[in-house]
Structure 1
Amino acid sequence: MMTLQTELLAAISWAAQQGWTPATGGNFSARTEAGYLVTASGRDKTRIQADDLLLCNLDGKVLSGDGKPSAESDLHAALYRLDPTINCVLHTHTLASTVLSRRFPNGIELSGFEMQKALAGNVTHDASVLLPVVPNSQDMDELAEHVRLGWPMPWGFLVAGHGIYAVGDSIASCRRHLEAIEFLLSCVLEESRWSK
């Protein structure tokens, strides 16, 4: 049986294999009874191991593990405090999310894509779905406030010029949201090339 730790490590390795964690970027976490497991800062996600994870409480304080959490670990903590249904946060830096979040700072509208049905609560491609974009900030309290003001964001959100924060009630649903969002954004980016 897969443990929470091994399932999180598998999700991180999978995201890294897609090329979504360049230059050790991105951070990944899963809720635990004590708080949450999160990747330590600066770790190569293509070689992720159990000792690259830290256990933090919901205030972001490290309870166990070697290394320090990235500054963005505080945003993971804020998300877990904000919504008790969130059990996983996967943050990646992808080309499509970075470019499109700059181009559409008020959100990215999706309509007519079959893959929209991979986002929880969507049952048809005919609906319009808005992927929220929040302004970037190096101040995690400020960034968390941008997110709080836009909540609810049931699949996650983009940070302008930065990347995707996918959320889910399990690691599996969070992975599905991340993969669907990235696929949909890649479609929008490709369409924008053809529309010129």
Structure 2
Amino acid sequence: MQDLSIPEAASHAILEAGRRMDRFGWVPATAGNISVRLGPDRVAITRSGRHKGFLDAAGVMQVDLAARPLDSNARPSAETGLHCGIYRRFPEAGAALHGHSVAATVLSRLAGDTLTLAGYELLKAFPGLPTHDATVAVPVLDNDQDIPRLQAEVERRWADMAVIPPGYLIRGHGVYVWAADMPAALARLEAFEFMLDCELALRRVRP
């Protein structure tokens, strides 16, 4: 019989990520969600309705890659399907983070289909960019409460991109990023949020 327990290291990584994101104000109220890949067909993810800054082990559950709960009748995050879409598309992805920062929410409302980041030293946090002298077009998706439909649109956008950045924005909502493991995902999120803060500051001084 398959062991469906969540490894302590995975649960700890999610809890610590929630506290870190909360300290930066990226997961207000019960917003945001956090996940870790447990294997080829299992994901540990935050349960719905839990404040990410005060998570305990009971706030983490398992789903399969179709976003179906495996180990309880608990309700996973509403956007579990977007996490699973990341893991299905990118076998190297080991952790995914979703936050609702002010900068991500505001800039995604002002942007078109993409938000361009260029010239930032922290672009080095994105794979294949060894220098600040680079430009990344971050996809911006219209918000949709129909998660399968939204994920289908994400996949359509990915199919049109020669190089897929490890992150995207949902308009008026927030940001998704992923990486090989939780430390890398957190570093990537922090770099992304720093650049978004800079972009928002530039719009204030350059109306």
Q: Distance in 2 between matches of 1:78 and 1:11?
A: 20
Unaligned stretches of 5+ in structure 2? 1-7
SS of match in other structure, 2:98: strand
Q: Please report how far the alpha carbon of residue 6 of structure 1 lies from its aligned counterpart in structure 2 after TM superposition.
A: 1.1
Q: Paired residue for 2:173?
A: 162
Unaligned stretches of 5+ in structure 1? none
Q: Paired residue for 1:5?
A: 11
176, 186, 196: which one aligns with 2:197: 186
Q: Please report how far the alpha carbon of residue 65 of structure 1 lies from its aligned counterpart in structure 2 after TM superposition.
A: 4.5
The residue identity in structure 1 corresponding to 2:9 is: T
Is contact 1:54-1:69 (8 Å) kept?
A: yes
Is contact 2:37-2:95 (8 Å) kept?
A: yes
Q: Paired residue for 1:177?
A: 188
Q: Please report how far the alpha carbon of residue 58 of structure 1 lies from its aligned counterpart in structure 2 after TM superposition.
A: 1.0
**Does residue 29 of structure 2 align to residue 18 of structure 1?**
no
Is contact 1:30-1:88 (8 Å) kept?
A: yes
Q: Please report how far the alpha carbon of residue 74 of structure 1 lies from its aligned counterpart in structure 2 after TM superposition.
A: 1.6
The residue identity in structure 2 corresponding to 1:21 is: V
The residue identity in structure 2 corresponding to 1:29 is: S
Is contact 2:169-2:176 (8 Å) kept?
A: yes
Aligned sequence identity (%): 37
14, 30, 40: which one aligns with 2:36: 30
Q: Please report how far the alpha carbon of residue 112 of structure 1 lies from its aligned counterpart in structure 2 after TM superposition.
A: 1.5
Q: How many residues align?
A: 195
The residue identity in structure 1 corresponding to 2:134 is: A
Q: TM-score, normalised by structure 1?
A: 0.94
User: Alpha-carbon deviations, 1:26-47, whole Å to 9, x = none?
Assistant: 0110111251000000001111
How well do the aligned residues superpose, as a CA RMSD in angstroms? 1.5
The residue identity in structure 2 corresponding to 1:42 is: G
SS of match in other structure, 1:23: coil
The list of structure 1 runs, each at least 4 consecutive aligned residues, that deviate by more than 2 angstroms after superposition, is none
Q: Please report how far the alpha carbon of residue 4 of structure 1 lies from its aligned counterpart in structure 2 after TM superposition.
A: 2.1
